[in-house]
Amino acid sequence: MTTVTLKDIAKLAGVHPSTVSKILSGKENIQISDGTRKKVQTIAQELDYRPNQLAQAFRLKKTFTIALIIPEISNSFFSGIAKSIEKESYQAGYNLVVCNTEENSEKEEKYINNFISRGIDGFIIVPSQKSTDHIKNLIKRKIPFVLVDRSFPSIQTNTVVSDNVISAYKCTKYLSELGHKRIAFIRGINELSTIRLRLEGYLKAVKEFNLDQDSELICGNGFTLESGRNSTKEVLSLEKPPTALIVSGNMLTIGAIKAIMEKKLTIPNDISIIGYVDDDWASCAITPLTVISHQLKYIGKKSFSLLLEQIKSGDIDIPVSRVEIESKLIIRDSTAQLDENLK
C-alpha cells in the first residue's frame, strides 16, 4: 500500500525516472518514441500513479492553492463569497484554503505568514484593518493578492468592493422620500473602510435632503447580533427616537429586529428598517425586509479572476485594479411612508 512513484514506473518500464516524468507531464516538445511512451503510460495507469503533489510543489514552488482569509465564515456575507470563490477556483484547478480570522489581526497575520511559508500561490483577503504590515509585506514580496470588501486608502492594491457610498445614500434617500427625517445608522465596526464609506453615503444624503443630523443617531461598533440589539435599543431610547433604521450588517439586523420586538414596536408601522442583509430569510422575517443585497457571486468571481490574472502574469507588473460592484436595494415591507402623526 505504499504510494507509487516515478521510480517504480521507471523500474518496471526499464527506463529512467526522468523519462517517465517527461512522458507523464505531457509536454509536447519532448522526443520519446511511441513505444516507450505507450509502455510507460499503461504502467502508470495500471499502478494508478498519482504524482506526489507535495514533491511537485516543493520542486516547482507552485502549489496551485490559494488562500481565502475572511473574518467570519458563519456570516452569510462571507460564506456566500467563499462559495463563489470556491467554485471558481475549483474550475480553474486551484485548491482553496479558507481561514477564519474572527476579526483578529494577529490571527490574520499568522495565517498569512504560515501560508507564505507553505508556498501558497495567492491570497484573497478581507482584512480586519487593524494593521497594514502584513499587507505591505505581501506587496514587498510580490505575492499575488486581492483585497475584498475592505480596502486601505493608503495602499494601492487590487480590490473588489461594493458600492458602499452609493448603497447607503440610496437607502437614506429612499427613506427620506418616504418622509423620514430622523434616520438612525447602526454602523458595525467603525474602523472599517466599508463602514466609513457607508457612513459617508448616509451623511451625504442626510445633508442633501435636510434630514436630522445627530451624532446620537449613528451608533454601534461591532457586527454581532448582540451589538445590533444593544445599539438599536440605545437609539430607540433617545428622547427623540428615529423613525427609521439603516442597519449595516447581517447579524446586526437580526439583533435590531430583536430589539424592536422587545420594545413591542412593529415594523413598519412604528419604525422602518433597511438591513444590509444577503440572506434568503430576509423575505420571511417578521416583516419581510427591505434590504441592501450584495451580488456575492459576482464579488467572488471578480476577486478570483483578478487574483488569477496576477498569478498567471508571473513577474510582469500588471496595473492594479479597483473594482466596485453594485449592490441592490430590494424593497419589501419593512419600510413605509412615515405616518404624519409620528413626526
Does residue 5 touch DNA according to CB under 7 A? Answer: yes
Q: Does 11 bind DNA (CB under 7 A)?
A: no
Comparing CA positions, the residue from 186, 197, 194 lying closest to residue 219 is: 186
Query: Which lies closer to a second copy via its Cβ, residue 112 or residue 165?
Result: 112
Query: Binding to DNA by residue 18, rule CB under 7 A?
Result: yes
Of 6-14, 76-84, 97-105, 291-299, which part binds DNA (CB under 7 A)? Answer: 6-14
User: How far from 139 is each of 135, 142, 271, 317, CA to CA, in Å?
Assistant: 7, 5, 47, 11
Closest CB to a second copy among residues 54, 316: 54
Q: Is 17 in the site for DNA (CB under 7 A)?
A: yes
Contact 204, 233 (CB under 8 A): no
Give me the 35-74 binding string for a second copy, x by CB under 8 A, dash otherwise.
Answer: ---------------xxxxxx-xx--x-x--------xxx
Tell me how far apart the alpha carbons of residues 189 and 228 are, in angstroms, rounded to a whole number: 11
Q: Are strands 218-219 and 244-247 parallel, antiparallel or unpaired?
A: unpaired
Question: Of these partners, DNA, a second copy, none, which one is at the site of residue 269 (CB under 5 to 8 Å by kind)?
Answer: none
Q: Which residues of 206-243 are buried (b: 16+ CB within 10 A; e: fewer)?
A: beeeebeeeeebbbbebbbbebbbbbbbbbbeeeebbb
Binding to DNA in span 31-70, by CB under 7 A: 31-33, 35-37, 49, 51-52, 55-56, 58-60
- The reply to whether 207 sits near DNA by the rule CB under 7 A is no
221 binds, among a second copy, DNA, none (CB under 5 to 8 A by kind): none
> At CA 79, angle to CA 148 and CA 299, rounded to 5?
35
Q: How far is the CB of 110 from DNA (least distance, A)?
A: 18
C-beta of residue 187 within 8 angstroms of C-beta of residue 223: no
- List 154's β-bridge partners, or say none: none
Q: Is 204 exposed, middle or buried (0-12, 13-18, 19+ CB in 10 A)?
A: middle
**Cell 436630522 identifies what position?**
212
Question: Which listed option, DNA, a second copy, none, makes contact with residue 18 (CB within 5 to 8 Å by class)?
Answer: DNA
Side chain identity at residue 213, one-letter code: Q
Within residues 136-165, the interface with DNA by CB under 7 A covers none
CB-nearer residue toward a second copy: 22 or 229: 229
Q: What residues make contact with a second copy under the rule CB under 8 A?
A: 1, 50-55, 57-58, 61, 63, 72-74, 76, 79-80, 82-83, 86-87, 90, 95-100, 107, 113-119, 140-142, 225, 251, 254, 257-258, 261, 279-281, 283-288
Residues near DNA (CB under 7 A)? 3, 5-7, 14-19, 21-22, 24-25, 27, 30-33, 35-37, 49, 51-52, 55-56, 58-60
